[in-house]
Amino acid sequence: MGIEFWTLVISVATGLMCSLVGVLLVANREALVSEGLSHAVLPGIILAFIVLRDRSSPLLILSAGAAGLLMVVLVAALARTRLVKDDASLGVVFPALFSIGIVMASTELGNTHFHAHCIIDGNLALTPLDRLVIGGTDFGPRPAYIMVGMLLVVVAFIAVFFKELKLMVFDPLLAGRLGFRPALLHVAWLGVVSLATVSAFEVAGSILVVALMITPPAAAYLLCDDLKRMMVVSAALGVLSAVLGFYLGLALDIAPTGPMSSVAGFVFLVVLLVAPKRGLLARASRRRIQRRDLRDRVLLLQLAGAGADRAYLEAHLPWEPTAISRALDRTVRAGLVVEQGTRWRLTDMGDARVRSPGSRA
C-alpha cells in the first residue's frame, strides 16, 4: 500500500485519538495541560534517545510519558503550596522542562534530526518512511502502528473508566466518598494523556497536537448536552478534520498536519456561529426576540388607559421612530392594539396582557 494510504491512516488515527483525549481536558477546564504536556515530554524523549541511540525504540514513548507525568506532579505540588496560582504553576513548569529538553538536544544531538523545527512542526510527511520491518518483511510505517495502538489504548481506557472519569471530573469530592480514588485515577488518566500526546507529537508537532486535542472538543461542547454525546461528536469532528486536512494537504502538496489543524479551526468557527442552542447566531436571534418582546410590552404600557398618539409615543419612547412603527405594526397584527384616527389604544386582549405582567406581548 502506498504512502498516501498510510499517511491517511496516521492522520485519522491521530485526529481521532486527540479529539477523544481532549473532551475530558476541556470538560475539566484543563485544556492547557495539553499545551504543557506537548512540551514537557521533550526531555524524556531526548534522554531516552541519548541513552539508547535508537529513535524507533518504544522506550522513547514511555520515557516521554514519564516526563509528562513529572510535569503533572510538579504542577500539582507547586499549586498546592498556594504560593503560585494553578495556571502560573503550569506556566512555570512546562517551559522549564521543555527548555531542559532543548538544551539537551542542542548540545548532545546537534547532528541528528531532532531539530527544533521538527519538535515544533512534527513531520507527518516523513513518518511513513520510517518502516516497521520484522524478519525482512515490510509491514508499513512504524508510526501508523504506534498511532493506532495508542488510539486503542485511549479508547479502551475511556470505555472502561467512563463512569469513574465523569464523576472524577464533575465532583471529585463525591468520587472520593464513594471510594473511586479520584486522585489516583486523575494521575492514571494524565499518564494516558501524556502517552497520547507524545505519540501524536512525533506526527503533528507540539503546537498542532494542542489544536487537534482542544479544537474538536471545544466545538463539540457547543453542540452537546452530555459527556457521552460530546465524545461522539468530538470524535466525528476529529476524523472529519483529519480526512479533509489530508486531502487539502494533498492538493496543496504539503504535509497534512497544518491543513488538519486549519480545518479543525475552521470547523470550530462554523460551529461557534451556527450551533443551534449555544452558537453566536442562535444567541443573537434569541436576544433580538427578547428585546422585541420587551419593547412590545413597554409600548402596551404606554397605551394603557386612554391610548396615545404618535407624538406622545415619540416623546415617551426614546427609540428610533422606525422601531416605534414596527412595534405598533406587530402589536396591531397580534390584535393587541387598534388604530383609531390618529390615536392607538389597547384592545380588550391588549388590556388583559398589560394586567398580567411577565407574560409576553
CB of residue 260 vs other proteins: minimum separation in angstroms?
24
Number of chain positions touching other proteins (CB under 8 A):
25
CB of residue 166 vs other proteins: minimum separation in angstroms?
7
Residue with cell 479520584: 182
3-state secondary structure of 182: helix
Compare residues 28 and 262 and give the one whose CB is closer to other proteins: 28
Tell me the CA distances in angstroms from 80 to 77, 83, 84, 185, 330, one per residue in order.
5, 8, 8, 18, 59
Compare residues 133 and 174 and give the one whose CB is closer to other proteins: 174
CB of residue 189 vs other proteins: minimum separation in angstroms?
15
Q: How many CA atoms lie within 13 A of 53 on its CB side?
A: 2
Q: How many CA atoms lie within 13 A of 87 on its CB side?
A: 4
Question: Among 5, 29, 59, 273, which residue sits at the site for other proteins (rule: CB under 8 A)?
Answer: 29
DSSP state of 109: -
Q: Where are the alpha helices (DSSP H) in 161-226?
A: 162-170, 172-177, 182-223
Residues 214-243 that bind other proteins (CB under 8 A): 221, 224-227, 229-230
By CB under 8 A, residue 169 contacts other proteins: yes
By CB under 8 A, residue 355 contacts other proteins: no
By CB under 8 A, residue 173 contacts other proteins: yes
By CB under 8 A, residue 129 contacts other proteins: no
By CB under 8 A, residue 162 contacts other proteins: yes
Q: Which of 7, 266, 210 is nearest to 128 (CA)?
A: 7
Compare residues 214 and 230 and give the one whose CB is closer to other proteins: 230
By CB under 8 A, residue 163 contacts other proteins: yes
CB of residue 44 vs other proteins: minimum separation in angstroms?
30
Asked if 165 contacts 189 with a C-beta cutoff of 8 angstroms, the reply is yes
Angstrom distance (rounded) from CA 78 to CA 88: 9
3-state secondary structure of 139: strand
Asked if 213 contacts 206 with a C-beta cutoff of 8 angstroms, the reply is no
CB of residue 219 vs other proteins: minimum separation in angstroms?
13
Q: Which of 82, 19, 78 is nearest to 240 (CA)?
A: 19
Q: How many CA atoms lie within 13 A of 163 on its CB side?
A: 2
By CB under 8 A, residue 73 contacts other proteins: no
Question: Among 50, 129, 133, 174, which residue sits at the site for other proteins (rule: CB under 8 A)?
Answer: 174
Specify the stretch interacting with other proteins by CB under 8 A; choose among 58-66, 163-171, 263-271, 282-290.
Answer: 163-171
Specify the stretch interacting with other proteins by CB under 8 A; choose among 8-16, 87-95, 172-180, 208-216.
Answer: 172-180
Residue with cell 386582549: 349
Question: Among 80, 177, 286, 360, which residue sits at the site for other proteins (rule: CB under 8 A)?
Answer: 177
> Rule CB under 8 A: which residues touch other proteins?
27, 29, 160, 162-164, 166-167, 169-171, 173-174, 176-180, 221, 224-227, 229-230
